[in-house]
Structure 1
Amino acid sequence: MAAPMDENPGNSKGKRYDEELDIMSPNFKPIKALYSEDEIDLPSKDVTQFNNIAEYESFMKRKDRGNPGNVSKPTDTEVPKKKSSSGHTKTKEMTSFQDENLRRRRERMNRNVLTRMETLEKGPLSLLRRCVQEKLLVKVWTRGAVELRGMCKGYIVAFDKHFNLAMIDVDELFRCPLTRDINIKKAAKV
């Protein structure tokens, strides 16, 4: 009678069985599994692989934020993943992960200058918002570090929190800065 063969519960590829690398084993050692060069077989084939702990944490935060009650929704268009000849499905998993991120970004409301302008109801920026909505003629004085450079009259179309203005139908009055020579001549005449 032949000797009983060593069963490989987590590995059917003919590799030698190491109980410390088997996830379902009570003798499983995670540190050894992390630094092992052998591929670890997982009990479920549709597991998302992460490159590091930070990637996992950000995934879990997004999952908690998106699903009240921490309930994950099954997808209707799930396609069973086939392993490539080397046994890795990282590229397929990463592309599906990226597709899911793109879909979530599209669902969120896009925030831009125009949408932020609409939310300003208090403070000095609310005056600019009123000028945009009522199409009021506005005078804007431009200045340098020391002197006034000029003045613009026009209608505000858009603005941001740094008081950058986009204007239309603008009439600009520009003052050329006085040179030092002219100031010296004026002082000498007096």
Structure 2
Amino acid sequence: MKCVILLAAVFLLVITVVIDGFQFGDMLYYPPKPHPMIKTFQYRHLAIYLGNDFPGHKGKEVIFERLNENPACVFKELDMSERPVVCNYLDGYVDERKVVYQGGSVEDMKGRIEELQKNCGKYNVLTNNCEHLATYVRYGRKISLQEGLSGEGLSISGHHVTRLHALKFIKQQKADKKLNCEIPL
């Protein structure tokens, strides 16, 4: 019985430490999975972490995400069994205009979330997907790279971000061990 209680206490501590590592506006990466209609097409779901002080969800960890259904831009309680990891992969990126990408202020990100709630737009895998939502909320620019997956070659980005330049930046960040977006097994 003591072992079970100790194991439960350790498990709760691990979950608390992981969740406490997330900050408002962090982009959460989820394990890659096959597209529901094209099984050979792999994609990665992204969402935005909002924290545990969200109206209607007091005391619960909440995310904001883009779905391919109605309603499309939704709030959802964070489910750690889905194994999300923080991956703010464009932090520090410098685009063609020499603009340095960093997460927006909490007020700016909340404003973008409110804007998307009012007009999420029709889902499009190439121009309006979950990665576009996450990068728009965090950086103010809709970008989808799907780095390292089968969708990488189909990605569309904008706002003076070239796909190859951004992917080179991400790969260099990983090589320099400044970025770790790997999903633990």
User: In which range does the TM-score fall when normalised by the shorter chain?
Assistant: under 0.3
Higher relative contact order (Cα pairs below 8 Å, separated by 6+ residues): 2
- The two structures have a TM-score, normalised by structure 1, of 0.20
